[in-house]
Amino acid sequence: MQLTWFGLFTVLLVPLSAAAQTVAERLTVVELFTSQGCSSCPPADALLGELAKRPDVLALSENVDYWDYLGWHDPFASHENTRRQRAYSRHFGLSYVYTPQIVVQGAMHTTGTDREQVQRLIARAHSLPMISIGIHRDETGRLVAKLSDVSLPEVVDVWLVRFDPSHATAVADGENSGRQIINYNVVRTFTRLASWDGSAMTVPLPEPQQASDDTDEAILVQQPSAGRILGAIRMQVPVH
């Protein structure tokens, strides 16, 4: 499904320095823009569920709200996700947004049901330079993300993303009426933690939410305005 809008922009992918290319973990971020009100989306949701099992992939489902008018209000849709998708569309020079759309590492996109192309883009993303992110507790016991000194082409953003592993929803109206939709790694919030100019820095992190054991978290380092993702790490809270 496609929603047309206006404003054409181009994306410039600037390589990182060689120092930024040595990492202990290569985690490729795959974002699916989807909607429970879109009849084309369930196969893409299922594909994202498969990708979520891969240790080298951070798969995220970002439900958008622009199809809610069709009769079913997606309980996980947010205008924040829609804004993020529109920012990507500007980078990719698109005059529209659509579902299902998969964005890989903030640098490439394809239709969310094109399994072979998604796999090709993930393989291509593995060749992109990436930075490493460390998570530890400092001498005061505070949880921090550690960013080593690297040469960056511009100031970038550090994000905390919170997501739920899965949700099953019985859809009662709209294009998917009567179907059960399963969404995986459902994004609940994106929180901008800091700006980073490439100098060695520690970023204070909030303690993981204790209200629900079902909420997972990850840290992303990304060029501004939904640009290329330069690094990502799942939150695994250390004891020390």
CATH number of the domain where residue 26 is located = 3.40.30.10
Question: What's the domain count of the chain?
Answer: 1
Determine if the peptide bond prior to 238 is cis (ω within 30°).
Answer: no
Tell me, yes or no, whether 53 lies in a domain: yes
Please tell me the predicted confidence (pLDDT) of residue 236: 74
**Quick check: is 239 in a domain?**
no
Return per-residue pLDDT of the chain as tens, 240 residues: 655 333 322 233 334 433 333 334 679 999 999 999 999 999 999 999 999 999 999 999 999 999 999 999 999 999 999 999 999 999 999 999 999 999 999 999 999 999 999 999 999 999 888 999 999 999 999 999 999 999 998 999 999 999 999 999 999 999 999 999 999 999 999 999 999 999 999 999 998 765 455 789 999 999 999 899 999 999 876 544
- Residue 157 sits at φ, ψ, to 5 deg, of -110, 145
CA distance 35 to 66: 9
HSE of 160 in the Cβ direction (CA atoms, 13 Å)? 20
Domain containing 228: what range? 2-234
pLDDT value of position 238: 55
| pTM across the whole model | 0.88
Which pLDDT score, from 0 to 100, does residue 62 have? 99
DSSP, residue by residue, 55-92 = TTEEEEEEE-STTGGGS---TT--HHHHHHHHHHHHHT
Taking a C-beta distance cutoff of 8 angstroms, is the pair 232, 58 a contact? yes
Q: What is the DSSP letter of 112?
A: T
* Gap between the Cα atoms of 197 and 188, Å rounded: 27
Cα angle 23, 62, 108 (rounded to 5 degrees) comes to 50
Cβ 57 vs Cβ 51: under 8 Å: yes
> Which residue is it, tokens 């330069």?
230
Question: Which residues are CB-contacts of 10 (< 8 A; sequence separation ≥ 6)?
Answer: 91, 93
Cβ neighbours of residue 54 closer than 8 Å, sequence gap 6 or more: none
DSSP letter, residue 125: H
Q: Is residue 62 part of a domain?
A: yes
The label of the residue with tokens 């909420």 reads 215
Residue 240 lies in a domain: no
Question: Comparing C-alpha atoms, which of 29, 18, 3, 32 is closest to residue 181?
Answer: 32
How wide is the angle at C-alpha 121 spanned by C-alphas 146 and 128, nearest 5°? 40
